């Protein structure tokens, strides 16, 4: 039988207990969900605890003891049950890694709070304080969730992480309905699920090395060899990327292009590394990149917008965005960020279609397009280039905005 903790929370530590709990939750319309995990020394997060709350109480699931999480996975994708999270991205990643599913439909209370006018990117404790005048403890935020037994302080912290989510859900849902924003909030939640459901992109870290936007194709070839190997090795060995090869070492290796062990040993950021093991592989990767025929080298990234000539336009776009946000009673950060505005300028100048980058489409387009287009046409109409008709050009613009 499940043992009961303070405040009525249940500790679930067997497959039988979890299956019985999931059978009960089948009749719920909502489930508040949170996870505790550890990933300091691994590539993938290690699940330490799952917290579930419904209208009747709180359960803490020990995934080290209740290892058959199949019944829970079925619940997390049940279309008739709202899954309530606060800032859900890491929880979705944990469930994808451990259960092979992306929870849906979701109701993210951090996002809902922004749509309801409480502020952008509010932490859970701050939101609960605003809504219910309750102060939550913060003592276990960096706790070891893999140790057993968990302390009383850990159990209390974990239970409180979901204790107020059902009430938060009801209040924010009501406020969003009253403001007429529930539908567009749901659209953004669905977008989060869609993005979390995309296949893992092994090349994403390659595109995120900022300096590479200005590199030659040969240097991009070196970068690709190093970063692709590091990504594959980190996943294979389940180690953080920086444990395999420090991020800071990548641009240094690309710029210095060492070809011997002696040259490699002079790379300061690699001091203390086991170069007898790592060195031959790095030299092999660099040699491969240096010897690749020109036609096999990566295409250059779209150049970042040189903001200086368009600083005034960017400021005008920001002012127009702020006015729309104020008129709508929404945080400006919820509507667009600087990167999206820069991408919009680039797409307008190159006459790319669709004009708005992906993150400004959907419900945002109807809200923002008239004001932003007015600014662009006032400032930049005479500078537009011949229309970019190729799908590759349009994809590159979207990719740069989404990266």
Q: How many CB atoms sit inside 10 A of residue 130's CB?
A: 13
From 165, 197, 229, the end of a domain falls on 197
pLDDT confidence tier of residue 388, bands split at 50, 70 and 90? low
Rounded to 5 degrees, φ, ψ at 37 are: -150, 170
Asked, for residue 302, whether it belongs to a domain, the answer is: no
The β-bridge partners of 308 are none
The answer as to whether 187 is a domain residue is yes
Same domain, 287 and 375: no
What is the structure's pLDDT at 274? 86
189 and 76 in one domain?
A: yes
Structure-block tokens of residue 76: 């997390």
287 and 390 part of one domain: no
pLDDT at 301 over 80: no
Q: Quick check: 364 pLDDT over 80?
A: yes
User: So what's the pLDDT on residue 191?
Assistant: 97
Find the farthest-apart pair of alpha carbons in the chain and give their distance in angstroms, rounded: 75
Query: 52 and 13 share a domain?
Result: yes
Domain span at residue 392 reads: 308-402
- Two tokens, residue 175: 């406020």
Range of lowest pLDDT (46-60, 218-232, 298-312): 298-312
The H-or-E segment that residue 19 falls in is helix 15-25
Residue 161 known to be catalytic: yes
82-86 average pLDDT score: 98
Give the pLDDT band (50/70/90) at residue 137. confident
Q: How many domains does the chain have?
A: 3
Identify the band that residue 203 occupies on the pLDDT scale cut at 50, 70 and 90.
confident
Catalytic residue (choose from 36, 54, 62, 231): 36
Active-site entry in 118, 157, 169, 206: 157
Question: DSSP string spanning 67-99?
Answer: ---HHHHHHHT-TTSEEEESS-HHHHHHHHHHH
Confirm whether 22 is domain-assigned.
Answer: yes
Residue 303 within a domain: no
Clarify whether residues 33 and 63 are in a common domain.
Answer: yes
Contact 375, 313 (CB under 8 A): yes
Q: What is the pLDDT of residue 369?
A: 97
Treating both helix axes as pointing N-terminal to C-terminal, what angle do 109-116 and 124-132 enclose, rounded to 10 degrees?
Answer: 50
Q: Which residue out of 17, 82, 91, 225 is catalytically annotated? A: 91
- Residue pair 344/354 in contact (Cβ under 8 Å)? The answer is no
Q: What is the mean pLDDT of residues 71-95?
A: 97
Is pLDDT larger for residue 203 or for residue 246? 246
* 402 conformational bin, left if phi > 0, alpha if psi -120 to 50, beta if neither: alpha
Backbone angles phi, psi at 30, to 5 degrees: -150, 150
Task: Please say if 124 is a catalytic residue.
Answer: no
**3-state SS class at 42:** coil
pLDDT at 304: 63
In-domain check, residue 136: yes
pLDDT value at 309 more than 90? no
Residues 210 and 191 in one domain: no
Q: Is residue 286's pLDDT more than 70?
A: yes
The single residue of 62, 108, 161, 352 carrying the catalytic annotation is 161
Q: What is the pLDDT of residue 207?
A: 79
Task: Share the mean pLDDT of the chain.
Answer: 90
Q: pLDDT at position 211, please?
A: 66
* pLDDT of the residue at 206: 80
Q: Which of 197, 230, 265 corresponds to the end of one domain?
A: 197
pLDDT for 307 equals 74
pLDDT at 238: 96
Task: Provide the pLDDT for residue 382.
Answer: 87
Q: Give the closest residue to 348 by CA, choosing from 319, 321, 374.
A: 374
pLDDT-above-70 percentage for the chain: 92
Claim to verify: residue 32 and residue 178 sit in the same structural domain: yes
Same domain, 14 and 108: yes
d(CA 89, CA 354): 28
Region 46-63: mean pLDDT is 96
Q: How many CB atoms lie within 10 A of CB 248?
A: 11
Domain presence at residue 79: yes
The pLDDT confidence band at residue 308, using thresholds 50, 70 and 90, is: confident
Q: Looking at the structure, do residues 10 and 44 belong to the same domain, yes or no?
A: yes
Can you give the pLDDT at residue 337?
95
CA–CA separation, 366 vs 306, rounded Å? Answer: 28
- pLDDT over 70 at 391, yes or no: no
CATH of the domain at 179: 3.30.420.10
Annotation says 34 is catalytic: yes
Q: How many CB atoms lie within 10 A of CB 396?
A: 18
Domain shared by 395 and 373, yes or no: yes
Choose the final residue of a domain: 296, 319, 341. 296
Output 29 or 211, whichever has higher pLDDT. 29
Task: Answer yes or no: are the C-beta atoms of 60 and 51 closer than 8 Å.
Answer: yes
Mean pLDDT of 259-287: 92
Confidence check: pLDDT of 166 > 50: yes
- 159/290 Cα distance (integer angstroms): 55
**Same structural domain for residues 346 and 372?**
yes
> What average pLDDT does the segment 333-338 reach?
96
CATH of the domain at 251: 1.10.150.80
206 is catalytic: no
Contacts (Cβ under 8 Å, ≥6 apart) of 102: 77, 92, 95, 96, 193, 196, 197
Residues 40, 139 within the same domain:
yes
Residue 253 in any domain: the answer is yes
The Cβ of residue 251 has, within 10 Å, a number of other Cβ atoms equal to: 19
Residue 301 falls inside a structural domain = no
Is the per-residue pLDDT at 390 higher than 90? no
Q: How does residue 170 score in pLDDT terms, banded at 50, 70 and 90?
A: very high
């Amino acid at each position: 039988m499940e043992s009961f903790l303070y405040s009525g929370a249940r500790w679930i530590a067997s497959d039988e207990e979890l299956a019985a709990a999931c059978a009960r939750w089948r009749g719920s319309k909502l489930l508040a969900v949170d996870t505790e995990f550890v990933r300091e020394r691994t590539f993938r997060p290690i699940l330490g605890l799952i917290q579930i709350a419904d209208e009747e109480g709180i359960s803490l699931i020990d995934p080290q003891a209740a290892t058959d999480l199949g019944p829970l996975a079925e619940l997390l994708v049940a279309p008739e049950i709202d899954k309530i999270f606060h800032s859900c991205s890491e929880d979705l990643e944990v469930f994808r890694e451990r259960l092979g599913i992306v929870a849906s439909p979701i109701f993210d209370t951090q996002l809902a709070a922004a749509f309801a006018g409480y502020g952008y990117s509010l932490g859970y404790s701050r939101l609960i304080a605003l809504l219910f005048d309750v102060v939550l403890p913060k003592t276990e935020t960096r706790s070891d969730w893999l140790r057993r037994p968990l302390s009383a302080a850990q159990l209390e912290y974990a239970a409180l992480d979901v204790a107020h989510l059902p009430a938060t859900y009801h209040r924010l849902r009501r406020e969003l309905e009253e403001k007429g924003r529930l539908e567009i909030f749901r659209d953004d939640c669905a977008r989060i699920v869609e993005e979390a459901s995309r296949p893992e992109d092994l090349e994403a870290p390659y595109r995120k090395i900022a300096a590479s936007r200005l590199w030659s194709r040969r240097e991009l070839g070196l970068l690709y060899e190093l970063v692709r190997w590091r990504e594959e090795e980190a996943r294979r060995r389940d180690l953080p990327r920086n444990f395999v090869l420090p991020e800071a070492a990548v641009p240094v290796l690309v710029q210095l292009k060492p070809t011997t062990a002696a040259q490699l040993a002079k790379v300061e950021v690699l001091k203390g590394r086991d170069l007898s093991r790592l060195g031959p592989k790095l030299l092999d990767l660099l040699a491969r990149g240096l010897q690749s025929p020109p036609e096999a080298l990566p295409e250059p990234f779209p150049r970042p917008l040189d903001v200086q000539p368009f600083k005034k336009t960017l400021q005008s776009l920001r002012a127009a965005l702020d006015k729309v946000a104020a008129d709508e009673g929404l945080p400006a950060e919820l509507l667009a960020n600087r990167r999206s505005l820069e991408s919009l300028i680039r797409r307008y100048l190159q006459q790319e279609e669709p004009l708005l980058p992906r993150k400004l489409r959907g419900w945002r387009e109807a809200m923002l397009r008239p004001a932003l287009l007015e600014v662009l046409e006032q400032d930049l109409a005479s500078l537009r280039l011949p229309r970019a008709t190729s799908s590759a050009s349009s994809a590159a613009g979207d990719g740069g905005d989404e990266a």
